[in-house]
A and B are shown apart, each in its own frame.
Chain A
Amino acid sequence: MWWGGRGQSFNIAPQKEEPEMGSVQESRMLEPRSRQPSSCLASSCLPGEQILAWAPGVRKGLEPELSGTLICTNLRVTFQPCGWQRNQDTPLSSEYDFALVNIGRLEAVSGLSRVQLLRPGSLLKFIPEEILIHGRDFRLLRVAFEAGGLEPQAFQVTMAIVQARGRSSQAQQYVGITPSKAGQGSGSRKPPIPLMETAEDWETERKKQGARGWRVSTVNERFDVATSLPRYFWVPNRILDSEIRRAFGHFHQGRGPRLSWHQPGGSDLLRCGGFYTASDPNKEDIRAVESMLQAGHSDVVLVDSMDELPSLADVQLAHLRLRALCLPDSSVAEDKWLSALEGTRWLDYVRACLRKASDISVLVTSRVRSVILQERGDRDLNGLLSSLVQLLSAPEARTLFGFQSLVQREWVAAGHPFLTRLGGTGVSEESPVFLLFLDCVWQLLQQFPADFEFSEFFLLALHDSVRVPDTLTFLRNTPWERGKQSGQLNSYTQVCTPGYSQPPAGSSFHPQLSVWDWDLRYSSAQILQFQNPGYDLEHCPDSWLPRTQPSFLVPGPPSSVWLFSRGMLTPLNQLCPWRDSPSLLAVSSRWFPRPAISSESLADQEWGLPSHWGACPLPPGLLLPGYLGPQIRLWRRCYLRGRPEVQTGLSAPVISGLQDELAHLQELLRKWTPRISPEDHSEKRDTNTILNPMEIAGILKGRAGEHLG
């Protein structure tokens, strides 16, 4: 609570100090040049944050124009409107904050003609009248400075931003908010998203999926198998931890095969890194690797994740091009828009991902088998494919809760190097794979508007959260780093009991805040918009009956092993590459346009299997996305946010209009039935908030029946 109204808590040494902070700050005032940084200005700082400069200004471009203060700190640029007090519950603002790493382009403007593009290290050549900050998340912040003696401040704040941005592009390690909210924080999270940092989380999830042949392994509890792997993961029941340790050593970066998802029909989706070809495993190791890969199924399909998908560099390049195209002043003529869009190749990559995920989900759902996603690093495209496959095949993953835990499990816990990929550690290995994933999810949302519980707003919020310096979720590369930072490591090193059912006694660590604590940055009205009003309750997971569970199989030599690559299934002689031939995956695969395939491309027949036909009905919850040129669209509300002229509300206002109407009717009904006791209005809300229509309708219906009928 100490960032609240109490003191001016800027300039604090990072973390750990907790409430005693209040007294420390008074002594340290800001640098002399800032004349009167009002207390409210400073009060909003995060721990470890320092205000570098500030200047009064007017935010333009958005309605309504707001006057306030532009503040540059060592973490972010923030526009604080006059009289706007940071809510204690939402210490960060989704609307007014701009993380320094998020700044894609900075322009200072003076008069109608002078525009200077400010690069890190460049010197401002004039007193700016206005500053334009283009976000890498496609947002645009435009602030006009006030004249009348305040010009030096305008100059200072602009220069401060330039410098701070230059500094922040070197590996800057954010601290994140430590959970000082303690009690209240955990209470506000309704069903907390499992962070998959404890063995219990993994056990609960395993049970939920009904993966009976699998267990939670604690072999990586000290991160000594691999730092990029989570502390716990799922392995087949009958494989010993010692075997796992040995077997994992033969995989790239120690990322051996682990269960990703157990399909209720019985198939397993696994992911693993590439085979470490230089190693020379003995027979037992090979046996262990093989039995892990086949996971007890007689059919094993190895999927080369990198095949047909863009390389990391491709993704980065496409994203850069897309950003350039979507700038408000991009010089593409209207009639050349489409080819320019095509030229970015971003949409091509989106469809490649969807196509591959769709193929894999048919492989997984149509037949009991073990499907293994194999990527050399196992930290990028594997996460993307495995999450997409689950979204397509499992209705649970399409709920708000399910999706968040999916991202937490397949991306955060699985060690996707967020910091590096999102440009937090310099440009070299930047590649927004996660944003590509979000775009894919958005496409699904477009194509199946009634199948997802979350809305476009939610995706947008998630999209905008990846660079915000509040929580550690996206600011670390590995679970190990994340754990180190949050101080859990110490408290955990003693506790390695195999009986993981009990939480470590007296553990002193605080519940870690994560990006899923949306109330840090979003108001409750905004959070309500995360719900998709069009979600069809028929599609919620409960309505699909769990199918009978084929059981786990005898480990033994798999009777068929296939490699799925370039849209073809080819038989493999053996799973592991070490015996005679070099690894298939050692050859780096490039993105190839797939040769022309008919609509039946999903049939195994065309993938190169013996052509005996037999109908195998698809499970009811499976979505088969469209991935043709006309079906893949541009996420305009995200990418074209900076272009004012391209904002159209499509169906959104329609639904919200209906919702308003429902709310109105509700109110009316209340007026007319004054006899309803006030306690009855437990669900009474602010009329401004958007309500779940089904809910209201339900209530209304009930009421109407009650009082009229």
Chain B
Amino acid sequence: MLGKGVVGSGGGTKAPKPSFVSYVRPEEIHTNEKEVTEKEVTLHLLPGEQVLCEASTVLKYVQEDSSQHGVYGRLVCTDFKIAFLGDDESALDNDETQFKNKVIGENDITLHCVDQIYGVFDEKKKTLFGQLKKYPEKLIIHCKDLRVFQFCLRYTKEEEVKRIVSGIIHHTQAPKLLKRLFLFSYATAAQNNTVTDPKNHTVMFDTLKDWCWELERTKGNMKYKAVSVNEGYEVCERLPAYFVVPTPLPEENVQRFQGHGIPIWCWSCHNGSALLKMSALPKEQDDGILQIQKGFLDRIYKTIHRPPYEIVKTEDLSSNFLSLQEIQTAYSKFKQLFLIDNSTEFWDTDIKWFSLLESSSWLDIIRRCLKKAIEITECMEAQNMNVLLLEENASDLCCLISSLVQLMMDPHCRTRIGFQSLIQKEWVMGGHCFLDRCNHLRQNDKEEVPVFLLFLDCVWQLVHQHPPAFEFTETYLTVLSDSLYIPIFSTFFFNSPHQKDTNVGREGHETQSKPLNLLTVWDWSVQFEPKAQTLLKNPLYVEKPKLDKGQRKGMRFKLCLQAQNFSPTESTKERAVMHQRQLSLPLTQSKSSPKRGFFREETDHLIKNLLGKRISKLINSSDELQDNFREFYDSWHSKPTDYHGLLLPHIEGPEIKVWAQRYLRWIPEAQILGGGQVATMSKLLEMMEEVQSLQEKIDEKHHSQQEAPQAEAPCLLRNSARLSSLFPFALLQRHSSKPVLPTSGWKALGDEDDLAKQEDEFMDLGDV
């Protein structure tokens, strides 16, 4: 049984059965107080976690303020989280809570996950910050993962209210020092427990070897070299210890402007063209320095402009593209659509849903990012050009765009390991300032820009449009986005590798006895049991057939039956669970089938040229570049998709969608019982199992000498016949079977049953 080890971390107020909802009127609570203490649940603390303050008899509203339904319990604030401990722990033993986070319970909010805190004073809602003169009767907490909690403090002792409210406000909103992050206390306390997962093969890019490996994988090692000039962060604190530059580039150039103005290699395409990034040189007023800068850049450009290098196209992301300010504004508007205090609010916005969504322009920003990535892909793929991304620090939009490009062009990045390595390479080592952008330390609200979230949303669009191309699921992306706020993983809690290494004591001046061993988020077993982890993996993903060129042609007709899908990352057992296998027929065929049907692929360029400029809405200025883009885009979409080749998203208006799983999962109104994607998914899984078992039987037959291990398929989707559309998240939310209809009320009006009995005979006769 899952989740048993973690007692009390989730109170389960929003339990699936109505019996867990206590309908106690607030007035009755005082009389019940003695009982409360008896039922109390123990708080589950992580190693190194300390309780800071707490309050009892807090009423947590189940849904909306008008209904007064709620659960009472204790509200605790530790140096890691805010936890509510309800008295109905039994709810946890439910089958439905299988997808449970081992670190964060249902009613836990990590301090970094708190977005806004509101207090209600005499029915008025106000933002809470700083020192309070008056304490609210109700506390509303908006979380960054879009949960909304409401706690009623009216029945709590005044002392406790003061303590808990000011405690929560202080610990979530006051600026913090890096050293005070829970990360460090946890790592110190849990030192012995940390064992790196041997199965975790994510490339961390913190050694020279990793970079060489990546160069070799992408065949970029002919023209680019990994350098260790920044070892010990002597040249620059922004750059990682090791990185890759064009081979002829003299290493002393790197030192010249602390790594600014240096083309740094991101990735090489199969045709030899490469994606590079460069942080802009500091802006100077002085003419002399400007001259020096100019000369420096000229020399750099000369190196990368001459053969063997391809023509370089410079893409300046600081101008003519999104600004961080735009992203920030859009997201803060967008998230308000989902942070619902009560259902009344929800229904109010529901009527204008589409226009509200549009006015946030979040989806439009996603579209622009995807479009930019396609443009760059087109340059590299079709025109065989090198693309140099230019940004002030090369650590925000550079990371975003270059990751997207790689995701579209490199099928390796669409595996789970590949994707994790990509994030490691472009974001973590690329020096994306997670600490500032997520505002983990609450030091500067203006720096808070959800660039990484924007990236995940872009990836979601791709996953949603081409599900079979990715090894991971949208659930994976959702939990990854949640992990941004869990301060036991080092991955998203530093601004740069330099900052991490100095603080952990690996390179630090204050040499501790032994460097702290920090957890990485890629070790999913920290958060999820293996069974729950199956939901992170796409059962429809098919690994790339590993064939050499000679064989490939014959393969079209010859069937490949052996399960040759050995991947070093999984144990045999896990593979069986995942149904990871190879299709027995070439992949490209799969898309041809719908053609016979009604779904026509209307793909003619002429129509666009003809009805011409009216159509091309994507085109702002109809210059040559745009035509190239359009043609590339159209011709790709007119062909059947090869899931192991180039992958482009659709970017038309109707195609960019809301990441429903992440944004709607906590809204009970949004769930469809027994419906949604899950229904298809479970059906598909069933079919896959069928296929798999058949394949095994054939295998068995083929080499009758060896006994294939029987695959058992314990699938989370299996047990319950009708899941909610918000699975796996919604199950935790469901608190009552929706329509409850009165029967007693009707009884008074007329007892039908008696009448029914009287009438039985008469009607039967009439019927014959």
Contacts from A to B (Cβ < 8 Å): 60-63, 94, 109, 112, 115, 130, 140, 142, 212-213, 237-238, 296-299, 328-329, 331-339, 341-342, 347-348, 362, 366-368, 447-451, 457, 460-461, 525-526, 529, 534, 536, 538, 550-554, 559-560, 593, 596-600, 602-605, 609-618, 623-626, 628-631, 634, 636-637, 640-662, 664-665, 668-669, 672, 688, 690, 693, 697, 700-701, 704, 708
Report the Cα distance A212→B759, complex, angstroms.
Answer: 12
In the complex with contacts A332-B617, A652-B599, A450-B697 CB distance below 8 A: no
Contact B585 A341 (CB under 8 A): no
CB distance from A140 to the nearest CB of B (A): 7
What 1/0 mask marks residues of chain B from 649 to 675 whose CB sits below 8 Å from any chain A CB?
011111100101000100011111111
- Residues B593-639 near A (CB distance < 8 A): 593-604, 606-607, 609-612, 614-615, 617-618, 634, 637-638
- Cβ contacts under 8 Å, B677 to chain A: 449
Q: For the complex, is B364 an interface residue (Cβ under 8 Å from A)?
A: yes
From B349, B364, B612, B694, residue with most partner A Cβ within 10 Å: B694
In the complex with contacts A602-B738, A646-B654, A334-B354 CB distance below 8 A: no
Q: For the complex, is B743 an interface residue (Cβ under 8 Å from A)?
A: yes
CB distance from B102 to the nearest CB of A (A): 30
- Cβ contacts under 8 Å, B684 to chain A: 534, 654-655, 658
The 14 sampled A-B contact pairs (Cβ below 8 Å) are A109-B610, A142-B607, A237-B766, A338-B363, A534-B683, A598-B66, A603-B741, A609-B742, A616-B741, A631-B672, A643-B602, A690-B593, A693-B687, A704-B697
Contact B742 A697 (CB under 8 A): no
A526-B596, A649-B594 provided; 6 other pairs, C-beta below 8 A? A299-B746, A551-B760, A599-B668, A612-B745, A615-B737, A645-B634
- Residues B547-590 near A (CB distance < 8 A): 559, 561, 583-585, 589-590
Contact A661 B591 (CB under 8 A): no
Contact B348 A596 (CB under 8 A): yes
Which of B357, B607, B652, B683 is close to A61, meaning CB atoms less than 8 Å apart?
A: B607
CB distance from A500 to the nearest CB of B (A): 15
Segment from B44-52, B307-315, B748-756 that makes contact with A: B748-756
- Cβ contacts under 8 Å, B467 to chain A: 650-651, 654
Contact A708 B683 (CB under 8 A): no
Which of A336, A451, A552, A650 is close to B679, meaning CB atoms less than 8 Å apart?
A: A451
Report the Cα distance A10→B348, complex, angstroms.
Answer: 60
Contact A610 B600 (CB under 8 A): no
Contact B64 A598 (CB under 8 A): yes
Q: Looking across the interface, which residue of chain B has its beta carbon closest to that of A214? A: B767
Q: For the complex, is B695 an interface residue (Cβ under 8 Å from A)?
A: yes
Which of B614, B660, B763 is close to A213, meaning CB atoms less than 8 Å apart?
A: B763
Q: Looking across the interface, which residue of chain B has its beta carbon closest to that of A236? A: B766
Which of B64, B66, B350, B694 is close to A697, meaning CB atoms less than 8 Å apart?
A: B694
- Cβ contacts under 8 Å, A616 to chain B: 740-743
Contact A660 B593 (CB under 8 A): yes
- Cβ contacts under 8 Å, B682 to chain A: 450
- Cβ contacts under 8 Å, A328 to chain B: 607, 611, 615
- Cβ contacts under 8 Å, B349 to chain A: 629
Question: 9 smallest A-B Cβ distances: which pairs?
Answer: A629-B353, A337-B653, A657-B590, A644-B602, A559-B750, A602-B739, A342-B354, A614-B743, A450-B679
Report the Cα distance A561→B581, complex, angstroms.
Answer: 62
CB distance from B348 to the nearest CB of A (A): 6
In the complex with contacts A329-B614, A448-B672, A339-B354 CB distance below 8 A: yes
Interface size class of chain B, counting residues whose CB lies under 8 Å from the partner chain: 35 or more
- Cβ contacts under 8 Å, A334 to chain B: 364, 367, 617-618, 651-653
Report the Cα distance A554→B742, complex, angstroms.
Answer: 23
- Cβ contacts under 8 Å, A451 to chain B: 674-675, 679
CB distance from B15 to the nearest CB of A (A): 16
Which of B610, B675, B690, B742 is close to A605, meaning CB atoms less than 8 Å apart?
A: B742
Q: For the complex, is B377 an interface residue (Cβ under 8 Å from A)?
A: no
In the complex with contacts A237-B766, A616-B740, A648-B655, A60-B759 CB distance below 8 A: no
CB distance from A122 to the nearest CB of B (A): 19
- Cβ contacts under 8 Å, B664 to chain A: 630
Q: For the complex, is B744 an interface residue (Cβ under 8 Å from A)?
A: yes
Q: For the complex, is B703 an interface residue (Cβ under 8 Å from A)?
A: no
Q: For the complex, is B691 an interface residue (Cβ under 8 Å from A)?
A: yes
From B66, B600, B670, residue with most partner A Cβ within 10 Å: B600
Which of A600, A642, A664 is close to B584, meaning CB atoms less than 8 Å apart?
A: A664
- Residues B291-347 near A (CB distance < 8 A): 342-344, 347
Contact B741 A366 (CB under 8 A): yes
What 1/0 mask marks residues of chain B from 712 to 744 whose CB sits below 8 Å from any chain A CB?
000000000100010000000000011111111
Report the Cα distance A337→B738, complex, angstroms.
Answer: 34
- Cβ contacts under 8 Å, A368 to chain B: 752
Contact B687 A338 (CB under 8 A): no
- Cβ contacts under 8 Å, A553 to chain B: 752, 755-756, 759
Q: Looking across the interface, which residue of chain B has its beta carbon closest to that of A64? A: B595
Which of A329, A450, A611 is close to B745, meaning CB atoms less than 8 Å apart?
A: A611
Contact B637 A645 (CB under 8 A): yes
In the complex with contacts A333-B617, A658-B684, A708-B599 CB distance below 8 A: no
